[in-house]
């Protein structure tokens, strides 16, 4: 979530530079080629159960790593203003850097450290999924911790609540709602990119890890519809099962962590059809009693004291080591920048000339998708504002829609539409739309929900027609959520664009002129490091610049102008 923040301007620039530098350091195609020598196994229908398990394991491992990372980083940002000035812009950049840009770097890093074993490839894949899950979780922790009311924080302080007790009773519960919400988003995001993350491409060599994503994309590339459908079915089944067994009960459970003590009458539970919450409670109950039994045996007070002293010790170590660390960091980044400059030196490949045009076309495509998304989402949100009973069902639609990995359907869409009107050009816009619309809908529905009932009633009692109420109350009140959703959706769509400008189906490649296609070609076809770096750089710079120059201003303006005073 964008926050009003005053960060040094050089931080995003430094971050981009060092990311690119890292990529260039490790992305030597020759070196990677040696490691993974074109290992493509053919996966068929009988691999599906194993593939499902492996994909689930990868997603789970990446998610746990994301949670740990998000907690540490978000905690640091929320508790230390000085750290926040550095961390928040970094997270922002991380969120807008396309996952695909990390691929060669991640692979070479893990392979370089651990050798070309399956273990290293597995880790690389998990890391890639991690990069698609972690950012919004970290923002979620930050948001949860920094929205603890000042008096609640003061109350915990005045009671002397510290250490583990403070985590357990104040800080983790305070993050619970935004953590659950963002976990759902992260998993959707992970599934969305899973397809790309299980195909490890190293220069001209490719290594497909067994998993749902690789089975699916291989089957589609071969034209094996049956296997593709089976894989797709498995994927959808897993997503739906997780929604029912994990997320829905978790969401219901997390509602107890709201500060809002006054209950709104129209939100009374039970007046809407609900799917049964099976699964999780019966799993959780024994775990809870186990936890109780453990905590009553454990010397909690001592653990608390130890943790506090460890924290203090770490703080001391950090104070001593931060300057050497900073020097080392600066030296490394200087070295990286040097190697970056070296690898960016001309002669540039011929395709490099395409980059400005490709970038421009991609930019147009994104905005087209954005306008299309708004064109159906804003009327829907306004309609929902008049029919509050539809809010829950529609939120459910948005949730399910967001958690189905649209990437899996890309080839199908291509097959259906490619020879119709508009061809690939229209398709890529539609595909980009799939990555964008749910998030916008999500946020706008949340905004509609927050329109105060008494304001609406006062306008109604003044005799304003529905259309005027929309224009004067609902739309302005939704503005902050709309802009928040737009920033994230717009940034995220660059990621989706990379997958949607270049689709392989039945051994044919369909592509349009765009920076996403360029990136893909550099990764999958030519293994051209310079081209890859140039296009990633162009992409990231565009996204970050646009975010800082346009969205941030719009956001600040909207927030000061349209904020509803909450007493």
Partner 1 sequence: MLELRGVDKVFTDRKRVVPALAQIDLAVPERQFLCIVGPSGSGKSTLLRIMMGLTPPSGGQVLYQGQPLSGVNLRSAMVFQSFALLPWLTVQSNVELGLLARNMTPEAAGRRAAFYLDKVGLGGYEEAYPRELSGGMKQRAGLARALAVEPDLLLMDEPFAGLDALTSANLREEVLSLWADHALPVDTVVMVTHIIEEAVLMADRVVVLSAHPGRVVADLPVTLERPRSKRDEGFDELVDSIFERIV
Any contact of residue 427 with partner 1 (CB under 8 A)?
no
**C-alpha span between 450 and 445 (Å, rounded):** 9
Any contact of residue 259 with partner 1 (CB under 8 A)?
yes
* Selected binder of partner 1 within 173, 349, 388, 476 (CB under 8 A): 173
| Least distance CB 448 / partner 1 (angstroms) | 24
**C-alpha span between 74 and 146 (Å, rounded):** 10
| Least distance CB 449 / partner 1 (angstroms) | 19
Stretch that binds partner 1, among 167-175, 180-188, 189-197, 218-226 (CB under 8 A): 167-175
Transcribe 4-65 into DSSP letters.
-----THHHHHHHHHHHHHHHHH--HHHHHHHS--------GGGHHHHHHHHHHHHHHHHHH
* Selected binder of partner 1 within 170, 242, 430, 534 (CB under 8 A): 170
Nearer CB in complex with partner 1: 154/416: 154
**C-alpha span between 535 and 537 (Å, rounded):** 5
Q: Cα 314 to the chain's mean position, in Å?
A: 30
Nearer CB in complex with partner 1: 175/496: 175
Stretch that binds partner 1, among 13-21, 179-187, 251-259, 486-494 (CB under 8 A): 251-259
Cβ-contact 43, 51 below 8 angstroms: yes
Q: Which two tokens stand for residue 497?
A: 């664009």
Cβ-contact 524, 499 below 8 angstroms: no
Stretch that binds partner 1, among 255-263, 328-336, 467-475, 527-535 (CB under 8 A): 255-263
- Please work out the total of residues on this chain that contact partner 1, with binding judged by CB under 8 A: 26
Any contact of residue 165 with partner 1 (CB under 8 A)?
yes
Nearer CB in complex with partner 1: 162/506: 162
The CA dihedral of 339, 343, 346, 347, to the nearest 10 degrees, is 150
| Least distance CB 305 / partner 1 (angstroms) | 8
**C-alpha span between 102 and 132 (Å, rounded):** 10
Any contact of residue 33 with partner 1 (CB under 8 A)?
no
Nearer CB in complex with partner 1: 165/369: 165
Nearer CB in complex with partner 1: 64/310: 310
List of residues 6+ apart from 162 with CB closer than 8 A: 304, 308
According to CB under 8 A, which residues from 124 to 163 bind partner 1? Answer: 149, 151-152, 154-162
Cβ-contact 498, 192 below 8 angstroms: no
Q: What is the contact mask toward partner 1 in residues 355 to 394, using x (rule: CB under 8 A)?
A: ----------------------------------------
Any contact of residue 85 with partner 1 (CB under 8 A)?
no
Peptide bond into 347 cis (omega under 30): yes
Residues that bind partner 1 (CB under 8 A): 149, 151-152, 154-162, 165, 169-170, 173, 176, 256-259, 261, 263, 296, 301, 304
């Amino acid at each position: 979530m964008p926050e009003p923040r005053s960060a040094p301007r050089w931080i995003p620039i430094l971050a981009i530079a060092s990311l690119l530098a890292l990529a260039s350091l490790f992305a030597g195609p020759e070196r990677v080629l040696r490691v993974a020598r074109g290992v493509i196994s053919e996966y068929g229908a009988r691999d599906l159960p194993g593939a499902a398990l492996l994909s689930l394991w990868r997603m789970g491992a990446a998610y746990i790593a994301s949670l740990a990372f998000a907690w540490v980083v978000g905690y640091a940002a929320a508790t230390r203003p000085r750290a926040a000035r550095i961390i928040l812009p970094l997270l922002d950049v991380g969120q807008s850097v396309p996952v695909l840009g990390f691929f060669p770097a991640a692979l070479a890093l893990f392979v370089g450290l651990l050798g070309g074993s399956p273990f290293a490839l597995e880790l690389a894949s998990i890391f890639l999924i991690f990069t698609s899950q972690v950012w919004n979780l970290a923002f979620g922790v930050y948001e949860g911790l920094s929205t603890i009311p000042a008096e609640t924080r003061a109350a915990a302080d005045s009671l002397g609540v510290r250490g583990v007790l403070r985590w357990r009773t104040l800080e983790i519960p305070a993050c619970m709602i935004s953590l659950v919400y963002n976990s759902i988003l992260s998993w959707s995001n992970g599934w969305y990119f899973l397809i790309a993350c299980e195909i490890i491409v190293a220069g001209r060599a490719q290594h497909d890890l067994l998993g749902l994503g690789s089975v699916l994309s291989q089957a589609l590339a071969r034209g094996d519809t049956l296997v593709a459908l089976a894989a797709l079915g498995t994927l959808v089944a897993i997503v739906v099962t997780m929604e029912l067994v994990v997320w829905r009960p978790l969401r219901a459970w997390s509602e107890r962590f709201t500060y809002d003590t006054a209950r709104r009458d129209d939100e009374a539970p039970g007046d809407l059809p609900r799917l049964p919450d099976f699964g999780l409670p019966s799993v959780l109950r024994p775990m809870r009693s186990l936890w109780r039994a453990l905590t009553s045996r454990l010397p909690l007070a001592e653990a608390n004291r130890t943790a506090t002293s460890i924290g203090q010790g770490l703080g001391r170590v950090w104070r001593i080591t931060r300057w050497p660390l900073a020097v080392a960091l600066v030296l490394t980044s200087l070295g990286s920048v040097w190697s970056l400059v070296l690898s960016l030196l001309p002669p540039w490949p011929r395709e490099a000339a395409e980059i400005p045009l490709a970038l421009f076309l991609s930019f147009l495509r994104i905005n087209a998708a954005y306008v299309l998304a708004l064109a159906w989402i804003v009327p829907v949100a306004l309609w929902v504002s008049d029919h509050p009973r539809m809010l829950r069902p529609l939120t459910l639609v948005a949730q399910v829609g967001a958690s189905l990995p649209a990437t899996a359907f890309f080839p199908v869409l291509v097959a259906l539409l490619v020879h119709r009107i508009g061809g690939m050009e229209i398709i890529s816009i539609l595909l980009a739309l799939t990555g964008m619309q749910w998030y916008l809908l999500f946020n706008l529905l949340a905004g509609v929900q927050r329109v105060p009932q008494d304001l609406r009633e006062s306008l109604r009692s003044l005799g304003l027609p529905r259309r005027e109420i929309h224009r004067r109350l609902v739309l302005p009140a939704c503005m902050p959520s709309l802009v928040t959703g737009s920033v994230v959706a717009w940034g995220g769509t660059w990621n989706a664009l990379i997958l949607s400008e270049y689709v392989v189906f039945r051994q044919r490649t369909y592509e349009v002129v765009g920076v996403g296609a360029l990136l893909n070609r550099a990764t999958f076809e030519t293994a051209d490091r310079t081209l890859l770096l140039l296009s990633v750089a162009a992409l990231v710079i565009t996204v970050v610049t646009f975010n800082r120059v346009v969205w941030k201003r719009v956001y600040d303006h909207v927030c000061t102008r349209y904020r509803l005073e909450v007493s």
